[in-house]
Structure 1
Amino acid sequence: MASNLEAKPAVVLIHGMWGTGETLNEVAQAFASWGYRTFSPTLPLHRVMVQTSTVERKQLTHTGLDDYLRFLNGYLDDLKLNHGVERPMLLGHSMGGLLALKLASQRPHCGLVLLSPAAPRGISAWGMSVLRTMGRNLLKFPTWWYTLSLNLANVRYGIANTQPLPYQQQITEQLCYESGRAATQILMPWLLQSDATQVQFAGVSGPVLVISGQQDRITPERVHWQIADRLGGKAKLLKFTAACHWTVGGQGFDDIATGIESWLSQHGLICLERTQTRSVG
């Protein structure tokens, strides 16, 4: 039997739109408590809005999912070279879930955890709740020439609608600007003739856990079960009745963490990497 040090892969946590690596701190803490080492990269040009310069916002308008994927592939290559991480577990939230799914279809991995994942090409997320969550961002046209931002009203309605007000305010204070190009590639890929959200589901080799909040208003539940369905028998879908899109912390996260831990236990996810003291970077 493999020792505990050999049994647990490194976990790469990929944040979603308007976020940073710190957005997934509660997820990282849960994995650390289970004995995993975690790595939480921040996507290019993602800084809290009050810290973002005009030049950085301009650069972000020219950045898309292709750039995020290129960055993450380089990050994973660096983990392999400098940390010996050859087959990590990939975890992503929202847009990060879509990026993790895309990476898993192309690279070796031990497993895949998708928290409220955004829709890949071929699965529509459109609905009135999505439009209302995006709010005034949709009035910016062409959307792919702009950066997008959310305020407390957007967060309260569509991002963290089941969370208490103080926690919603905390989330809002930590939000970044997001690339309108990336948002368009996800919501309207036909406009940019982009295949950045095209996923070859057959390429995903490891077991997959899909977490879905049934109160999710920006990536509706139907998106999550369609993703799980396309992954076939390798995927397990866990639905949480009282959860919203914010499945990475706050109220109700203990139940989600318990579901993840149970799934990890069921699959083992054994690889040859050795667990060290957790590092987040």
Structure 2
Amino acid sequence: MMSKPPIVFLHGTNAGPWTMETFSDFFQSRGFECHSLTYRHHELPDSEERSRALIGTSIKDYVDDVAAFIDRLNQRPIVIGHSLGGLVAQLLSSRGLIHAGVLINSSIINGTTPTTDMERALGKLFMSAGRFWEMAPGQDFELLAAYGLNTMPEKQQHEICDRLSTESGAVLFELFFWMYDVNQTTKVDFSKAKAPLLFLSGSEDKVVPPSTSRTMADRYGDLAEFAEIPGRCHYMQLESGWEHIAQQSLDWIERQ
């Protein structure tokens, strides 16, 4: 009997492996070998050193680092990625490096356009932020509460926001303005993306709403399955009742 594939957990922007601890503990308790990775420079505390290191860092750097880690495993892993981690999983799939992917409110890939007024408003906010791609922006509480933590109690919103840190502005540019990215960093080669993917989308996510997530999943045809999770926000793996989403993910994995 083949052993279970290992699972690699990937976090979102401004974050760290702590945002994936609930799922990591869940799958480890069910016999999976689990690895929670930290993106380049994200282990550094908030400081001038961290900002200097992050400036100019690309999503490609994150993908290359995860790919190098996967090369050291004895088989292709399942990747469970949140937000940016879901995008990284898709890019890894197009390199033929993963067995399957569970994407929790995945960030958009090249060619995915906004479907809601709130998404378009978020893009306009970045446009008004100056040359943010040459910076390492931090996380604004009001923006995060409105877009990513909108179904959570205020106390939990503050607890999460306080643990988030700065992110490469170049990464944010590649995410939100892929049409102007000369490197086309987030472009997926669908001819090479063969791994099955489960797109999990919180119905109340304002960052990547279900209407946008579904259009992204549809581009994979039969390789992708889409599931909308009622009443959940962008950080739904940290919401009360996350166990049901983890179990849904496990059930899907066991069918692959």
Counterpart pick for 1:16 among 12, 15, 18: 12
Cα offsets for 1:20-41 (capped at 9, x unmatched): 1222101101111221111011
The residue that corresponds to 1:271 in the other structure is none
TM-score (norm 2): 0.92
Distance 2:241 2:101 in 1: 21
Q: How do residues 1-281 of structure 1 correspond to structure 2 at under 5 angstroms?
A: 2=1, 6-47=2-43, 51-77=45-71, 79-80=72-73, 84=74, 86-125=75-114, 127-130=116-119, 138-267=127-256
Gap regions ≥5 residues in structure 2: none
Gap regions ≥5 residues in structure 1: 268-281
Q: Judge which range, 55-64 or 211-220, deviates more.
A: 55-64
Distance 2:30 2:124 in 1: 39
**Letter of the structure 2 residue corresponding to residue 241 of structure 1:** P
Cα offsets for 1:31-83 (capped at 9, x unmatched): 112211110110012147xx222122022111111211222122222x32xxx
- Cα distance change, pair 46–164 in 1 and its aligned pair in 2 (3 A): same
Q: Judge which range, 205-214 or 249-258, deviates more.
A: 249-258
Q: Tell me: higher relative CO, structure 1 or 2? Use CA pairs within 8 A at least 6 residues apart.
A: 1
Cα offsets for 1:112-159 (capped at 9, x unmatched): 111101110101137442366679654322221111221322222111
- Determine what percentage of the aligned residue pairs are the same residue: 24
Q: Per-residue deviation at 1:229?
A: 0.8
**Letter of the structure 2 residue corresponding to residue 213 of structure 1:** G
Contact 2:123 2:176 in 1 (8 A): no
Q: Aligned-residue CA RMSD in angstroms?
A: 2.0
Contact 2:114 2:120 in 1 (8 A): no
- Cα distance change, pair 233–158 in 1 and its aligned pair in 2 (3 A): same
**Letter of the structure 2 residue corresponding to residue 174 of structure 1:** R
Corresponding residue SS for 1:147: coil
